[in-house]
């Protein structure tokens, strides 16, 4: 059984160089001081050659592992942004079982990713924030749906009571009908 590497050669690079590599990978942004031809989006080979021109030697496989990690973290951040955006104006159309299911799927993917990777404190903080946001969506969606159901049942009970009272049905029978058919229970 092989021991899993806990530190990448990328982790030993200066912070400013790691930030530049991250922008190249995630944002497809070429640095102003890139020495070669800028053709399309930066490739892993471009990142290796940029590191060499900055005086640091890294392997193509280290860049590949770093790239997968950075892209995954970027996707999780984007998922968190989407979740917060959906939550800011929750309406009847958006509060659904689908919304809850999506947040649970995202949470499961985040937890799976976190369990497979050696993460920095900042990455753990970002993951925790994304899990919190997804959990909050699920809780608020359930709460909103329950509130909407309660409003509908109370409205139906009031309407039924009014109609039956007009028809001359006695109060006890009205209450029995409401309790039995609408599921309204006296507290």
Q: Please tell me the distance from the alpha carbon of residue 104 to that of residue 15, in angstroms, as a whole number.
A: 34
Q: Could you read off the pLDDT of 146-174 as tens digits, one per residue?
A: 887 888 888 888 888 888 888 888 888 88
Residue 77 pLDDT grade (very low, low, confident, very high; cuts 50, 70, 90): confident
Q: What is the pLDDT of residue 170?
A: 86
Question: Please, are residues 114 and 129 in contact by the beta-carbon 8 Å criterion?
Answer: no
Output the six-digit token pair for 179.
């309790």
CA-based angle 109:111:112, to the nearest 5? 65
CA-nearest of 12, 38, 44, 130 to 82 is: 130
Distance from CA of residue 113 to its chain's centroid?
A: 13
Residue 58 pLDDT grade (very low, low, confident, very high; cuts 50, 70, 90): very high
Q: Please tell me the distance from the alpha carbon of residue 135 to that of residue 103, in angstroms, as a whole number.
A: 7
Q: What is the pLDDT of residue 95?
A: 57
Does the pLDDT of residue 24 top 80, yes or no? yes
Q: What is the pLDDT of residue 83?
A: 67
Average pLDDT over residues 7-14: 83
Percent of the chain scoring above 70 in pLDDT: 79
> Looking at residue 168, what DSSP letter applies?
T
Q: Please tell me the distance from the alpha carbon of residue 138 to that of residue 97, in angstroms, as a whole number.
A: 9
Lowest mean pLDDT among 1-5, 49-53, 102-106: 1-5
Q: What is the pLDDT of residue 50?
A: 94
Q: Please tell me the distance from the alpha carbon of residue 140 to that of residue 134, in angstroms, as a whole number.
A: 10
Query: How far from 96 is each of 5, 53, 102, 137, CA to CA, in Å?
Result: 43, 53, 10, 10
CA-nearest of 77, 97, 93 to 137 is: 97
Does the pLDDT of residue 20 top 90, yes or no? yes
Output the six-digit token pair for 68.
């997968």
Q: What is the pLDDT of residue 187?
A: 45
Which residues, in sequence order, are CB contacts of 183 under 8 Å at separation 6+? Answer: 153
Better-scored residue on pLDDT, 4 or 138 = 138
Q: What is the pLDDT of residue 143?
A: 81
């Amino acid at each position: 059984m092989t021991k899993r590497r806990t530190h990448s050669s990328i982790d030993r690079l200066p912070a400013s160089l790691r930030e530049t590599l991250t922008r190249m990978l995630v944002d497809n942004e070429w640095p102003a001081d890139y020495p070669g031809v800028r053709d399309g989006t930066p490739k892993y080979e471009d990142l290796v050659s940029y590191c060499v021109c900055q005086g640091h030697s890294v392997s193509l496989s280290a860049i590949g592992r770093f790239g997968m990690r950075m892209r995954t973290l970027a996707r999780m951040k984007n998922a968190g942004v989407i979740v917060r955006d959906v939550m800011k104006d929750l309406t009847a159309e958006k509060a659904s079982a689908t919304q809850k299911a999506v947040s649970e799927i995202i949470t499961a993917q985040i937890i799976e990713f976190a369990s497979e990777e050696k993460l920095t404190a900042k990455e753990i903080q970002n993951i925790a924030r994304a899990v919190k946001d997804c959990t909050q969506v699920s809780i608020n969606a359930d709460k909103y749906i329950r509130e909407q159901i309660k409003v509908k049942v109370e409205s139906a009970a009031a309407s039924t009571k009014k109609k039956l009272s007009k028809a001359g049905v006695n109060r006890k029978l009205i209450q029995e009908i409401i309790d039995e058919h609408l599921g309204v229970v006296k507290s």
